[in-house]
């Protein structure tokens, strides 16, 4: 969609909003292109990129992680770090790269990021978190700044934490309906998303609220939006291996030939975009997602796990389809 220079694209989106979640080592440019082709969501995010790295001599290499195509718009760059000055400088850079928005990762629960007191650890430092949002907004200029986070760190603190975030007026907040401590090991607390929406309305905030966690189908996303009053949902693992997700189709709806041909297309695009920078083995997680739920899937997956190139994927697909 076209974006006027000073407009907040979030406010232009029709509701309900469906977003494709940023996922490390998953939502790269090739992955996003597949969704742009077969079932485009309302907004997409890059994998999270380090603000420290983008403010260092390693910037050139990291900039490759921020490549995107026009077909992916609106496209939001997700960033992470701890130093507000680096957020400011990174936001200026992202604006120059003509992204549609910037998202701050305050939700990743992985040990590496927590050890650096970044991502979900920022929930424990609300003043710093606010300073980071404000610094990013200053650097972003006309770009809207959003936040992806969780309900709390060791315990659910939706009201306390969201009140702190809303005070600095991000364009949108995506709430993964679990705490950092819970990782993804318990069912998402969707009742907290409803509490978040009510709090936002009570405070008179214009910030959009998106819920995230355990959305396995488009229909379930619609149901969660209706139940909670959220402006939309963000979908991660539920869309894995299903670039048709946002059309409302589930994988059983897709003919085997189509799934395998699109898998082959994905592998070819990945190789074209990232060879030799990324190991082709990264595609293996996608093989598992695409090739499941049908007779003979395990055998095909086993073969795909051995491949080292897109041409080998094509050979396996050709062989399988010849038998059908």
Contact predicate 193/230, CB 8 Å:
yes
Q: Report the C-alpha gap between 37 and 321 in whole angstroms.
A: 22
Tokens matching residue 272: 């074209």
Q: Report the C-alpha gap between 262 and 282 in whole angstroms.
A: 17
Q: What's the DSSP call for residue 235?
A: E
Report pLDDT for 1. Answer: 38
Q: How many CB atoms lie within 10 A of CB 321?
A: 13
The CATH code belonging to domain 9-247 is 3.20.20.70
Report pLDDT for 199. Answer: 98
Tokens matching residue 290: 């695409």
What are the residue numbers of the active site?
108
| Lookup result for tokens 């700044």 | 145
> Could you tell me where the DSSP H helices lie in 212-309?
218-228, 256-274, 284-290, 297-304
> 111-146: b or e for each residue (b if 16 or more CB lie within 10 Å)?
eebbeeebbbbbbbebeebbebbbbbbebbeebbbb
Work out the burial of residue 69: count CB atoms within 10 Å of its CB; fewer than 13 is exposed, 13-18 middle, 19 or more buried: exposed
- What are the residue boundaries of the structural domains of the chain, listed by start? 9-247, 255-323
Is the bond leading into 19 cis (omega within 30 degrees of zero)? no
pLDDT (tens digit, 0 to 9) for every residue of the chain, 324 residues total?
Answer: 333 445 799 999 999 999 999 999 899 999 999 999 999 999 999 999 999 999 999 898 899 999 999 999 999 999 999 999 999 999 999 999 999 999 999 999 999 999 999 999 999 999 999 999 999 999 999 999 999 999 999 999 999 999 999 999 999 999 999 999 999 999 999 999 999 999 999 999 999 999 999 999 999 999 999 999 999 999 999 999 899 999 999 888 899 999 999 999 999 999 999 988 889 999 998 998 899 888 889 999 999 999 999 999 999 999 999 886
Report pLDDT for 293. Answer: 81
Query: Strand, coil or helix: what is 233?
Result: strand
> Could you tell me where the DSSP H helices lie in 98-237?
111-115, 126-140, 158-166, 190-203, 218-228
Q: Report the C-alpha gap between 63 and 53 in whole angstroms.
A: 10
Q: Dihedral (C-alpha) 84, 85, 90, 93: value to the nearest 10 degrees?
A: 140
């Amino acid at each position: 969609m076209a974006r006027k220079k000073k407009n907040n694209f979030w406010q232009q989106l029709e509701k309900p909003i469906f977003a494709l979640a940023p996922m490390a080592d998953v939502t790269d440019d090739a992955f996003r292109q597949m969704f742009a082709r077969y079932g485009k969501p309302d907004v997409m995010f890059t994998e999270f990129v380090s603000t420290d790295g983008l403010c260092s001599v390693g910037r050139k290499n990291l900039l490759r992680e921020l490549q995107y195509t026009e077909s992916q718009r609106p496209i939001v760059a997700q960033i992470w770090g701890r130093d507000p000055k680096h957020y400011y400088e990174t936001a200026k850079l992202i604006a120059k790269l003509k992204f549609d928005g910037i998202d701050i990762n305050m939700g990743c629960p992985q040990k590496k990021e927590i050890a650096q007191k970044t991502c979900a650890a920022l929930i424990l430092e609300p003043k710093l978190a606010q300073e980071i949002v404000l610094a990013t907004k200053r650097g972003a200029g006309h770009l809207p700044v959003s936040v992806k986070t969780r309900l709390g760190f060791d315990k659910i603190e939706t009201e306390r934490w969201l009140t702190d975030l809303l005070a600095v007026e991000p364009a949108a907040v995506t709430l993964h309906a679990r705490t950092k401590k819970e990782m993804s090991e318990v069912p998402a607390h969707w009742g907290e998303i409803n509490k978040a929406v009510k709090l936002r309305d009570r405070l008179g905030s214009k910030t959009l609220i998106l819920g995230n966690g355990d959305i396995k189908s488009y229909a379930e996303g619609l149901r969660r939006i209706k139940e909670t009053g959220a402006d939309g949902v963000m979908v991660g693992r539920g869309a894995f291996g299903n670039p048709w997700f946002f059309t409302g189709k589930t994988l059983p709806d897709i003919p085997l030939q189509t799934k395998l041909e699109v898998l082959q297309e994905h592998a070819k695009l990945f190789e074209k975009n990232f060879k030799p920078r990324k190991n082709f083995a990264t595609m293996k997680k996608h093989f598992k997602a695409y090739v499941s739920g049908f007779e003979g899937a395990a055998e095909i997956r086993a073969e795909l796990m051995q491949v080292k190139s897109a041409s080998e994927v094509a050979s396996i697909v050709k062989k399988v389809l010849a038998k059908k």
